[in-house]
């Protein structure tokens, strides 16, 4: 961190600032006095410093961070890609993660039948929501624990690891026992209590990007989990809110190479929630792989018009199968396996 001091700053106040910085933060301050300005270079662990409170000091003209505020998820401190290992699966290695299934688990028959179909088409994870944090409180909220049981049956019948969303801290113990990848939805990306508690487990966590979250805010949320002791975080770009309303959200494809540059964590894309339109899902899934994503999450339903949630963005199983064929070309181009 670099602090530029005001030209007329009283010497006693400058010394007070230097002493406070060195005393409380295990930081060394190197001072350079120029003709017009003096500059303080801070060396050490500046991550915990409150940059705003330094900015407010009367002797300070400008403060510049050199290092990002996140540390554990920062590629600077961990140059190699993180590969998340679960029970019989990996995310972030050469093989792409293809997570597919309905938005909501609707019945045991539905999830078992779909699991078999998406597996036969090339999915290597089954997704399905049991706890649904809906924007509208009057809409279907998910079958809860019953839905988790159905997902377990589908896993037992297909061998596919299961990915499902957690909505509160009380569910963590159950999810750790029963779920392979715990999804934190966009609406909970900044539920820091939930993130910290998930940091105390070792379960893979799929952290979706918040509806209006910047990349830095998203990485700071990942930092909560990793700093808590759980290194197994997969990021998921699921579209952000922009001025465009034709699509449900705007898929921020540029976030993928940005994340790859800033962080060592795997990142997948979810073109279903990003577009809200089933016919736009395939081209954006392909695009996601082409910009370097480690996988995709796709909503699939056998009868989208009757789906209890997100039918408009759900693919029929045949369409999902065609999508996987297209993904194969993208995977070949990127030197990845499907």
Q: 110: closest CA among 163, 145, 159, 151?
A: 151
Binder of residue 185, out of Mn ion, ligand PEP, none (CB less than 5 to 8 A by kind): ligand PEP
Q: Which is nearer to Mn ion, 105 or 331 (CB)?
A: 105
* 36, 140, 145, 247, 336 from 136: Cα distances, Å: 58, 9, 21, 19, 39
Q: Site mask, Mn ion, residues 95-114, x = CB under 5 A?
A: --------x-----------
What does the alpha-carbon distance between residue 316 and residue 298 come to, in Å, rounded to a whole number? 11
Which listed option, ligand PEP, Mn ion, none, makes contact with residue 238 (CB within 5 to 8 Å by class)?
ligand PEP
Across the beta sheet with 60-64, the strand order is 27-33, 38-44, 2-5, 60-64
Q: Which is nearer to ligand PEP, 3 or 160 (CB)?
A: 160
Any residues with CB less than 8 A from the CB of 146 and at least 6 apart, and which? 130
Among 267, 307, 310, 320, binds Mn ion (CB under 5 A): 310
Give the phi and the psi of residue 26 in degrees, each rounded to 5. 55, 45
Ranges within 283-312 binding ligand PEP (CB under 6 A)? none
Quote the least distance from Cβ 288 to ligand PEP, whole Å.
14
Q: Does 185 bind ligand PEP (CB under 6 A)?
A: yes
Rounded CA-CA distance 85/92 in Å is 9
- Under DSSP, the state recorded for 30 is E
Could you say which of 57, 208, 264, 301 contacts ligand PEP (CB under 6 A)? 208
DSSP code per residue over 191-234? -HHHHHHHTTS-S-EEEEPPTT--HHHHHHHHHHHHHTT---EE
Residues 56-115 that bind ligand PEP (CB under 6 A): 103
User: 3-state DSSP call for residue 64?
Assistant: strand
Contact window for ligand PEP (CB under 6 A) among 62-70, 115-123, 184-192, 227-235? 184-192
Task: Report how far apart, in Å, the C-alpha atoms of 293 and of each of 171, 208, 259 are.
Answer: 29, 14, 10
CB of 272 to ligand PEP, least distance (A): 8
Residue with tokens 């796709």: 298
Residue 301 interacts with, from Mn ion, ligand PEP, none (CB under 5-8 Å by kind): none
Q: Give the shortest CB-333-to-ligand PEP separation in angstroms.
A: 27
Residues 106-145, one symbol each (x = binds ligand PEP by CB under 6 A, - = not), give: -----------------------x----------------
Q: What residue ranges bind Mn ion (CB under 5 A)? A: 103, 310
Q: What residue ranges bind ligand PEP (CB under 6 A)? A: 103, 129, 185-187, 208, 238, 273
């Amino acid at each position: 961190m670099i602090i530029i001091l005001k030209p007329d700053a009283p010497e006693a106040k400058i010394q007070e600032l230097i002493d406070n910085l060195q005393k409380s933060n295990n930081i060394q301050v190197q001072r350079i006095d120029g003709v017009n300005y003096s500059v303080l270079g801070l060396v050490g662990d500046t991550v915990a410093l409150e940059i705003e409170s330094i900015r407010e000091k009367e002797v300070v003209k400008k403060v510049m961070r050199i290092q990002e505020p996140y540390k554990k998820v920062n590629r600077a401190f961990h140059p190699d890609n993180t590969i998340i290992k679960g029970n019989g699966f990996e995310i972030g290695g050469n093989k792409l993660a293809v997570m597919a299934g309905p938005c909501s688990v609707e019945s045991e028959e539905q999830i078992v039948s779909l699991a078999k179909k998406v597996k036969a088409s090339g999915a290597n994870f089954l997704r399905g929501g049991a706890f649904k944090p809906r924007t509208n409180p009057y809409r279907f909220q998910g079958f809860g624990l019953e839905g988790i049981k159905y997902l377990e049956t589908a896993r037992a019948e297909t061998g596919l690891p299961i990915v499902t969303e957690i909505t509160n801290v009380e569910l963590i113990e159950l999810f750790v026992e029963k779920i392979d990848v715990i999804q934190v939805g966009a609406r909970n990306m900044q539920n820091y209590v939930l993130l910290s508690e998930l940091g105390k487990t070792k379960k893979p966590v799929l952290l979706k990007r918040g509806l209006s979250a910047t990349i830095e805010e998203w990485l700071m949320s990942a930092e909560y989990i990793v700093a808590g002791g759980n290194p197994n975080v997969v990021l998921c770009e699921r579209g952000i809110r922009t001025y465009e309303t034709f699509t449900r959200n705007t898929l921020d494809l540029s976030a993928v190479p940005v994340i790859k540059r800033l962080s060592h964590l795997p990142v997948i894309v979810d073109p279903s929630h990003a577009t809200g339109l089933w016919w736009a899902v395939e081209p954006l899934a392909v695009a996601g792989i082409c910009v370097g994503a480690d996988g995709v999450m796709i909503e699939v339903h056998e009868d989208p018009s009757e789906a209890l949630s997100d039918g408009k963005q759900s693919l029929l199983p045949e369409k999902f199968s065609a999508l996987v064929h297209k993904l194969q070309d993208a995977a070949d181009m990127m030197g990845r396996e499907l």
